[in-house]
Amino acid sequence: MPISIKNGSDIEKMRVVGGLTAEVLDMISPYVQPGITTNELDRMCHDYIVNVQKAVPAPLNYRGFPKSICTSVNHQVCHGIPSDKVLKNGDILNIDITVIKNGFHGDASRMFCLGKPSIRAQRLIDVAYECLWIGIREALPGVPLNNIGRAVQTYAESRNCSVVREYCGHGIGREFHEEPQVLHYRESDPGPTLLPGMTFTIEPMINAGRKEVKLLPDGWTVVTKDHHLSAQWEHTVLITEQGTEILTLGKGETPPI
């Protein structure tokens, strides 16, 4: 499948669903406190998406995924499955939300700290956030896609962190995962030229230790091989004639650059 170019009415729907996606993260934020389980967070997000937003949580039953959101704790990199495990002081958590409304998808994730994070954890979360925005800054019309990956990897490594290779950002729209694959690392192939109307995610997974990951026997949860911490932030973006529009900005979230 070629990269889909969204028309005006598609873009309006992408804006709507992007806003809903951010709204779920805004809604759940105050509940992310020590003592809660990831299943409880899943249930609250599910009910909000279905009953309030009248929308669909895309992960539920996606290729057999059993829950409505992904929750990845500490050394879990991505695709963590909500469970009855209680979150405790010092944990770090990624919540990844994907919503479908009017036939279009929005996808975003953020990091949360349970109580007070360690200095190392906070530093990793900050580096991952900077990686997201450094990637977004490179997402401009007329430039090669892999400018994003090159900038993210260069920055992450300058901060002594590593970039996960096995999972990447992706085109998004009528499908959850469309072309192109948005790598967060440098490649000799510059990739396709970005054009107005393209919509895709940028979602670097940044490890405090080595870049290698492994898949747990549940078939979903990805963890760091060395069990060091991992952090990730994700936005869905639109390439415009002038530059970039972030479709999943949260309430009060302003681009740091």
Written as six digits, the tokens of 125 are 């979360």
Backbone angles phi, psi at 199, to 5 degrees: -125, 130
Span near ligand MF3 by CB under 6 A; candidates 2-10, 23-31, 62-70, 238-246? 62-70
Number of H helices, E strands in the chain: 4, 15
Check: CB of residue 72 under 8 Å from CB of residue 221: yes
CB 79 within 8 A of CB 220: yes
Q: Is the peptide bond before 180 cis (omega within 30 degrees of 0)?
A: yes
CB of 105 to Co ion, least distance (A): 9
Q: How near is the Cβ of 89 to ligand MF3 at its closest, in Å?
A: 27
Does 133 sit near ligand MF3 (CB under 6 A)?
no
Contact call for residue 96 and ligand MF3 (CB under 6 A):
yes
Given candidates 10, 107, 130, 178, which one binds Co ion under the rule CB under 5 A? 107
Place of tokens 């998004």: 172
Q: Which residue is nearest to ligand MF3 (CB)?
A: 59
Interacting residues with ligand MF3 between 238 and 257 (CB under 6 A): none
Whichever of 98 and 248 has its CB closer to ligand MF3, that residue is 98
CB atoms within 10 A of CB 64: 7
Tell me how many residues contact ligand MF3 (CB under 6 A): 13
Closest distance to ligand MF3 from the beta carbon of 106 (Å): 10
Query: What whole-number distance in Å separates Cα of residue 228 and Cα of residue 238?
Result: 33
Q: Find the shortest distance in angstroms from Cβ 8 to ligand MF3.
A: 26
If one asks whether residue 234 binds ligand MF3 (CB under 6 A), the answer comes out as yes
Q: Using alpha carbons, list the distances in angstroms from residue 119 to 113, 124, 126, 155.
A: 12, 9, 11, 19
Which positions from 82 through 101 interact with Co ion, judged by CB under 5 A? 96
Q: Which residues bind ligand MF3 (CB under 6 A)?
A: 59, 62-63, 65, 70, 79, 96, 98, 107, 201, 203, 220, 234
